[in-house]
């Protein structure tokens, strides 16, 4: 495309006259679709789930961070719609892909969703379209995997259509940082791709940071979450050492945090959860192993973090044994199933792993989580139990896995026989039956 044609596309973006399509309306795609629609952009979501499509078109939200009233208002104004008909992608000026990128059992990246979405785009790809990926993946995915599939149409990236990558930075439950006030990183296959993708995101983000290429943008997300994973691993190992030294890791972190420079507090726990921090380092490890490079620091961090559910289980067993109560005949109540406080998401939650490990010993395990009324773990269905005085007293140990703010912790302390606090939720309560991570 010549300079005048590209200038025309940019003008269409600036005037908010572009038609935007988003493939995948989950934790990343729906909030993004709502933000573009709020900015006055005609937005169409593409989903294989008929239920999600029906909900959106009826004005109902199924994502905690997206209020139903927002979806309803935007659906009524026709700024936000959803469909299962992917041939409608042809009418979209810009298509953003927000599909899952899970790991296989071998811990290798599963890019099948990316490939499927890309192939759907090729069926209707036309000149002038802007294609942007947000799905977290390994460096090189956009150029080495996505670009060749799209170019099988005969159209060339950077010349006939524009291809870029912009890592999602969604933080479920965060009321302070949203799409609007979280800087957006964008990298394109060419400089023209970067400029057009940057113009698109400027419609919904206060600050957009263009980087030199797609590989840089891809690894930015991996660096952000690997940074967290490594620092969490360090503080988890400190927690293990402090247990051996009979010291309080939480008091130590608080004291260290008083230093106004050179220190950033991270906190230990029964493991790491969610769909980013436990998974993202594996994308990088897989890529580097393919290049005959062993990321030893990263490997160590993943090993430490993955062992925390087992350590948590062992600590509970140890505390029960001290009271002449074998774990195999004990009743345990886990407080919190979500991977972090005040959300409904329990993907990769360490509480799930702790529950499974405890049950393997023969223990009877239940959970309480106001945000998750029911859950299925390893094919077995569970229901959240109520926190009443008689119920609490029937358990041999209550273990706090997630520090939700809507829990009556004073009642737990008053009515429980033994408490293991893996999140420092009881930091302001002193009682001899409370034991910390």
Look up 276 and say whether it is catalytic. yes
Strands 397-400 and 380-383: unpaired
Q: Do residues 74 and 172 both lie within one domain?
A: yes
Pick the last residue of a domain from 180, 212, 244.
212
Query: In three state form, how does the secondary structure of 177-205 look?
Result: CCCCCCCEEEEECCHHHHHHHHHHHCCCC
Q: How many CB atoms are closer than 10 A to CB 275? A: 20
Same domain? 318 vs 347: yes
Are 208 and 278 contained in the same domain?
A: no
Q: Choose the final residue of a domain: 183, 212, 241.
A: 212
d(CA 166, CA 117): 16
Q: What is the pLDDT of residue 1?
A: 83
* Segment (H or E) for 69: helix 68-76
Q: Mark whether 131 and 267 lie in a shared domain.
A: no
Residues 189 and 302 in one domain: no
Q: What is the pLDDT of residues 128-144, one digit of tens each?
A: 999 999 999 999 999 99
- Helix, strand or coil, per DSSP, at residue 334: strand
Per DSSP, 88 falls in state G
- Residue 218 falls inside a structural domain: no
Q: Is residue 185 part of a domain?
A: yes
Q: The CATH number of the domain where 146 resides is what?
A: 3.40.50.720
Q: How many CA atoms lie within 13 A of 166 on its CB side?
A: 34
Q: Which one from 94, 98, 276, 397 is the annotated catalytic residue?
A: 276
Q: Give, rounded to a whole angstrom, the gap between the first and last alpha carbons of the chain.
A: 60
Q: Is the pLDDT of residue 252 over 90?
A: yes
How many CA within 13 A on the CB side of residue 71? 26
The residue assigned the tokens 């358990």 is 395
Same domain, 237 and 206: no
Q: Nearest Cα to 219, choosing from 185, 184, 196?
A: 185
- My answer on whether 81 and 115 are in the same domain is yes
Bridge-based pairing of strands 397-400 and 331-335 is parallel
Q: pLDDT category, 276, cuts 50, 70, 90?
A: confident
Q: 68 falls in which pLDDT band (50, 70, 90)?
A: very high
Contact present, 115 and 145 (Cβ < 8 Å): yes
Task: Tell me, yes or no, whether 394 lies in a domain.
Answer: yes
Note whether 239 and 194 are same-domain residues: no
90 with 197, same domain: the answer is yes
**pLDDT 10s digits, 18-33:** 999 999 999 999 999 9
Q: Is the domain of 261 the same as that of 390?
A: yes
222: in domain: no
**344 and 416 both lie in a single domain:** yes
**For residue 24, which of 275, 221, 211 has the smallest C-alpha distance?**
275
Number of H helices, E strands in the chain: 14, 15
Domain endpoint, select from 181, 212, 243: 212
Rg (CA), the chain: 24
Report the chain's mean pLDDT, rounded to a whole number.
95
219 lies in a domain? no
Which pLDDT belongs to residue 9?
94
Strands 374-377 and 380-383: antiparallel
pLDDT, tens digit, 9 for 90 and up, residues 184-212 = 999 999 999 999 999 999 999 999 999 99
- Over the stretch 278-322, which tens digit does the pLDDT of each residue have? 888 899 999 999 999 999 999 999 999 999 999 999 999 999 999
pLDDT given at position 278 = 84
The CA distance from 92 to 124, in Å, is 10
In sequence order, the 6+-apart residues with CB closer than 8 A to the CB of 175 are none
The reported pTM is: 0.92
The domain of 99 spans 3-212
Query: 194 burial class (0-12, 13-18, 19+ CB within 10 angstroms)?
Result: buried
pLDDT in tens, 381-429: 999 999 999 999 999 999 999 999 999 999 999 999 999 999 999 999 9
303 and 167 in a common domain: no
* pLDDT in the model for residue 104: 86
Helix (H) or strand (E) holding 162: strand 162-165
Task: Specify the number of domains making up the chain.
Answer: 2
- Residues contacting 266, CB < 8 A, separation 6+: 228, 231, 232, 234, 235, 253
What pLDDT was estimated at residue 173?
A: 86
Give the mean model confidence (pLDDT) for residues 364-371.
97
Examine the pLDDT at 275 and tell me if it is beyond 80. Answer: no
Say if 137 falls within a structural domain.
yes
Is the residue at 51 inside a domain? yes
């Amino acid at each position: 495309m010549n300079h005048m044609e590209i200038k025309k596309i940019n003008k269409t973006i600036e005037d908010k006259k572009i038609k935007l399509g988003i493939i995948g309306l989950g934790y990343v795609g729906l909030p993004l679709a709502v933000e573009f629609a709020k900015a006055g952009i005609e937005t169409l979501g593409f989903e294989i789930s008929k239920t999600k499509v029906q909900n959106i078109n009826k004005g109902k939200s199924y994502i905690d961070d997206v209020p139903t009233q927002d979806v309803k208002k935007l659906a009524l104004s026709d700024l936000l719609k959803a469909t299962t008909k992917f041939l409608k992608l042809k009418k979209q000026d810009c298509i953003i892909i927000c599909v899952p990128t899970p790991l296989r059992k071998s811990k290798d990246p599963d890019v099948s969703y990316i490939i499927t979405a890309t192939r759907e785009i090729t069926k209707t790809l036309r000149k002038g379209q802007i294609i942007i990926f947000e799905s977290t993946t390994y460096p090189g995915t956009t150029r080495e995997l996505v670009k060749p599939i799209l170019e099988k149409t005969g159209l060339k990236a950077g010349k006939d259509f524009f291809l870029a990558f912009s890592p999602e930075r969604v933080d479920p439950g965060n009321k302070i940082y949203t799409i609007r006030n979280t800087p957006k990183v964008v990298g394109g296959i060419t400089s023209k791709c970067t400029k057009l993708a940057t113009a698109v995101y400027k419609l919904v983000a206060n600050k957009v940071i263009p980087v030199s290429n797609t590989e840089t943008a891809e690894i930015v997300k991996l660096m952000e979450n690997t940074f967290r994973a490594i620092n969490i691993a360090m503080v988890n190992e400190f927690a293990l050492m402090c247990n051996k030294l009979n010291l309080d890791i939480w008091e130590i972190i608080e004291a260290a945090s008083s230093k106004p420079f050179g220190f950033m507090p991270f906190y230990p726990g029964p493991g790491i959860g969610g769909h980013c921090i436990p998974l993202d380092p594996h994308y990088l490890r897989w890529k580097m192993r393919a290049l005959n490079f062993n990321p030893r620091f990263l490997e160590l961090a993943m090993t430490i973090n993955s062992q925390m559910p087992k350590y948590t289980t062992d600590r509970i067993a140890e505390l029960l044994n001290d009271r002449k109560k074998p774990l195999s005949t004990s009743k345990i109540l886990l407080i919190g199933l979500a991977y972090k406080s005040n959300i409904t998401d329990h993907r990769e939650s360490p509480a799930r792993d702790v529950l499974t490990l405890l049950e393997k010993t023969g223990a009877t395990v239940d959970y309480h989580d106001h945000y998750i009324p029911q859950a299925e773990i390893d094919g077995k269905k569970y229901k959240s139990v109520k926190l009443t005085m008689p119920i609490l007293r029937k358990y041999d140990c209550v273990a706090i896995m997630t520090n939700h703010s809507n829990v009556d912790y004073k009642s737990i302390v008053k009515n429980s026989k033994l408490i293991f606090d893996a999140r420092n939720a009881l930091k302001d309560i002193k009682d001899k039956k409370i034991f910390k991570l």
